[in-house]
Structure formats: structure tokens, C-alpha cells
Amino acid sequence: MNFLCIYSEILQKTHTFINSKHILQHIYWIEGTESIAIKITFSVSRAVEIFKTRVFIQGEQDKMLFEELNINKELVQGLKEMGLTEPTDIQVKAIPLIKQGKDVISISKTGSGKTAAFGVPILENIVHGHGVQYLVIAPVRELAVQIAKEFKKFGKHIRFSVAAVYGGASINPQIEAIERADIVVGTPGRLLDHLENHKLDLSGIKCVVLDEADKMVEMGFIQDIRRILNKTPKNRQMLLFGATLSNEIEILKREYMHTPVTAQTQSHVGEEYLEQYYYDVKHQEKFSLLVHLLKKEQKGLSIIFCSTRSTVEAITKNLKDNGIRAEMIHGKLSQNRRLKVIEDFHKGTPNVLVASAVAARGLDIKDVTHIFNYDLSEDPQEYVHRVGRTARAGKSGKAITLLSERDHEVFREILHRYPVNVKELPLVEFERISFNSGREGRRFGSSNRFGRHGSRDSRGRGESSSRPRSYGGRSSDRPSSYGEQGSSSDRPSSGFHGRPRASEHKPRTYGRSSSSRGRSFGHSSSHGRSGSRRRY
């Protein structure tokens, strides 16, 4: 249906005269279970909202309510009691499509409200007591537990039963829960256990949801997913949610989905509410800077991400030694312990959580104001999932990366692959704190104070100057760390060497914005002398 037809339909349904004074940029037309969205530009006098025709003036969206998605009253009430009255972008786009029975692929950033996007249509169609009708597959147990809890919250006025099944927990209570369940939420391994033991019957499945499908593929679950899907009816509905699409996801789509439609939101690393910064710091100074920032920035909940379990354990212990309320979560903790830590963190006791990569995808915690990347994962995509733990559901947040020499290469790859906008902050004065690595009692550091860019005290006896940087002028002003062509000596080191020279420590901004006097990395071209930098 082209624009003229839609415009004609609107006029016929609203009988409204439209003249030319304002710019109309978006129309969302929702009637019954139909959803038509089109981006256009033309002139109108005012926003029109008649017969559920939605009009957006100059890119500003009128407030929409869940009732306008034709959701039943019990679900609307449950959502209201959770403080949710206005659907998110992905909910507006996905819910009508799912209600129509379509197979849907949803690509959305973290914190976009995807659980309700698939959960609301599922709960609307539940027929209690008719066996397992809906299956949700999640990559990690924390996410499976979180999804089940969310279902219970916004479905509290609907009669249904949900069972969460995952490894690391007793299997008998899960079997009993499955026998009563209308919905099963589980991890691939434990779902296969129940299938192989004939404790889970998927013959009556109406819909399968793959939540964070890209993460399950990364974790090597694709064959397990195939085995599970092969046990479901061929005519069942399938919903696929994730942050990115990969070749493996495309294969799953072709094999198991029926003419899928796509519901996609904005970029994966949103800039509207998320501020992203980094500090260029020597590796052995990271912990001291982290403590300084935690004490300075701490206003809500903070998550510190580390790449290894040993680092998680060492950071947690040293934070506690320095009077910071911190707990840790990683894959080797018992299931009960992990759930207890997450529950306490929800309550704000502790207010700092140190986590390994295994926890990056399973955590959905409100009021996380700060993310600290103590180090970077070798997988650039992990950065997206880490920083996505804050700035969720329309709330603001900060993501701060502590960048040392060993992190430069993967950081450059992150900037090349994703449209992030991250700024360098100059080092402030902070106290060097002793750090116990846990290896035979080795301790690093002393009580010296460091000034801007590592200078000790205010006398400036450090390695580098705090003089601000600007780019786009003489070639000597340009840094060699990111994107320049040159000899191997220009590339970042992975050892414990000093930071780049003072001339290399002017603040940098990476991302999509650019100016004639600065460099930007991402989707915009670089400025300055042609040929001196690679384009990212």
C-alpha cells in the first residue's frame, strides 16, 4: 500500500481536513491486529488521533498506551502495577505482528522491553491446564529465571503456570513444575535433559521463542536448538530475539521459520540515554582509578565487568578491603549463590557487582547507573552487551572503560564494527592503592598520589602532560594508537610499558560525530590529511 492510499484511507476514516502548516514525519496506523508503519514527509496542520490513527509531528512521538495495542485488561493492569503504561518501540512494532500469528525476527538493543514484547501476546493466548503450549529458550540460567519472573509479574491477574528449567539445580522440582506448566522457560542443555528423559512433551507447542539467539549461537548451542525445534510441530509460530544477526541465525531462519517479518529498533548501542567514556591508563593503575571513580561516581548501582574469573575474584576482594560494598558473580558459583547475589544487588545490598562475561547477557536489573569495563573481552560484540546493562527503559546511564595498552586492539575493532560514540576523559588526580592480585600474596602499588595523566602529586613528576589535545592540524599532533598506518612501533603494546608520549594524550572522541578539528571513528570518514588514517 503506497502513501497516497494510506493518506486516502486516513481521510476516509477520520473525515478530517488537513492543510499545510506543520511537517508530518511518521504515521503509525494501528487498527485491530493490523499494524502499518511508513516514514513520509508532507505538510499537515496538526496531529490527528482519531480511530487509533497515530501521527508524529516533527519526529516527536505522541504518548501511546498499552490499551491502544488491544491488550486485554488483565495484562494492562499487571503492566500498570509494574509501572509500565507506555509500550517501548520494540513492543509497538512486535506485539501486533505476534498477535497476528506471524513468525517475527526482532533485532533490538538491550533494555528495549523485549520480554514483554513476546510475553504479552503469549499470555493473551494461554489456555490454562492444556499442557505446555509455549517454549522460551534462553542462553543462561539467570536470564531464564528473569523471564519467568517477568511473566509472573505482568501476568499476575491471568491464570497460568510457568516453569523455569536450567542446569545446576535439582531436576525433580523442575519435573513437577513442567507437569503443571503452560509455559516452559529454559536453557538448551536442561531442556534436552527433560526431552531425553521423556519429562517434557513439546507436541502441543503453539510458539517457540529464542531469546538472545545470537548469544546462544556464540555459546555453541545451535545444534541443541535444532534438536529442540525438531521436537515441536512444524506449524508452530517462532519468534527470534537478539541484538545482532549472524550467518548461523540466517540459517535457522531459513530452516525453521515461515515467511518471517522483521521488527527492528534503533542502533544496538543507543546514544540517547547512554554516555560512553574511557580513560587511557597504565594497567597497574587501573584498580586505583576504579576505586576513585566508584567513590566519585557512585549514586546508584554499578556493574564492573572483567574478562576472567580470577580477575573478578581479585577485584571483588580488593574492593571489599577498601571499604566498598561489592559482591561477585561468575560461572563457577553455585546456582543458589548466584541467584542470591543477584537478588541482593536488586535491593542495593551490595551496590557494586563484579561480573564475568557469562553474566553480561543474563542480567536485567533496573537502576544500574554505571558500567565499568575493567578490561575488554576479545569478542568486540561483548562490549555491546556489557554497556547495555545500563541506560535501560528510558533511564540514563554511564559506561566507563579503563583502557590500557593491552586493550587497544580490541577497542579499535569495537569502534570499527559498531556505531558507538565514546569520548576520552583526562586522568584526574587519584591515590595509588595497594592491590593484592591473589597470586602468592603479590601486591602492587603504594600510597603515592597520581595527578592528571599519571603525574605524581601536583608537581607533575609523572610521565605525561595534562595539556589538552586537538587533531586535524600538523601531523605531529595526531595519535598513532588508533587507525594510522605505520611501522610496528606505532601499534599499541600488550605489555606493561608506559603510556604514549605526552603529545599523544589529548582527549579523543570516537563515534559518528566529527568536526574539522577532531577524529571520529565509526560510520563517518576521518578528517585531516588524506591518507594518514584508515577509515573505520
Domains of the chain (ranges, CATH numbers)? 3-62 (no CATH), 67-264 (3.40.50.300), 274-464 (3.40.50.300)
Q: Which residue in 284, 233, 225 sits closest to 251, CA to CA?
A: 225
Phi, psi (degrees; rounded to nearest 5) at 430: -145, 160
Per-residue confidence (pLDDT) for residue 265, from 0 to 100: 72
Distance CA 337, CA 53 (A): 50
Distance CA 132, CA 145 (A): 17
Per-residue confidence (pLDDT) for residue 58, from 0 to 100: 31
Query: Is residue 499 a contact partner of residue 405, using CB atoms and an 8 Å limit?
Result: yes
Q: Is 316 helix (H, G, I), strand (E, B) or coil?
A: helix
Report how far apart the first and last C-alpha atoms of the chain are (Å, whole number).
38
Per-residue confidence (pLDDT) for residue 13, from 0 to 100: 41
Listed in sequence order, the residues at least 6 apart from 343 whose beta carbon sits closer than 8 Å to its beta carbon are none
* Grid cell listed for 25: 514525519
C-alpha angle with apex 430: 429 to 431, nearest 5 degrees? 135
Upstream peptide bond of 500 is cis (omega within 30 degrees of 0): no
Per-residue confidence (pLDDT) for residue 300, from 0 to 100: 87
Q: Which residue in 141, 217, 122, 223 sits closest to 186, CA to CA?
A: 141
Q: Are strands 104-107 and 261-264 parallel, antiparallel or unpaired?
A: parallel
Give, in order, the Cα–Cα distances in Å from 66 to each of 77, 93, 357: 10, 12, 34
Distance CA 115, CA 211 (A): 9
Distance CA 273, CA 288 (A): 28
Longest dimension (CA), the chain: 80
Distance CA 118, CA 213 (A): 14
Per-residue confidence (pLDDT) for residue 7, from 0 to 100: 44
Distance CA 26, CA 57 (A): 7
Phi, psi (degrees; rounded to nearest 5) at 268: -70, -35
Q: Is 248 helix (H, G, I), strand (E, B) or coil?
A: helix
Per-residue confidence (pLDDT) for residue 360, from 0 to 100: 57
Per-residue confidence (pLDDT) for residue 378, from 0 to 100: 87
Distance CA 323, CA 294 (A): 11
Q: Which residue in 420, 412, 418 sits closest to 391, CA to CA?
A: 420
Q: Which portions of the chain are predicted below pLDDT 50?
A: 1-61, 268, 440-441, 446-447, 451-507, 512-536
Give the DSSP H or E segment for 24: strand 22-31
Per-residue confidence (pLDDT) for residue 433, from 0 to 100: 93
Radius of gyration of the chain (CA): 26
Q: What is the separation of C-alpha 484 from the centre of its chain, rounded to a whole number of angstroms?
A: 30
Query: Is residue 464 a contact partner of residue 282, using CB atoms and an 8 Å limit?
Result: no
Query: Is residue 402 a contact partner of residue 433, using CB atoms and an 8 Å limit?
Result: no
Listed in sequence order, the residues at least 6 apart from 339 whose beta carbon sits closer than 8 Å to its beta carbon are 142, 145
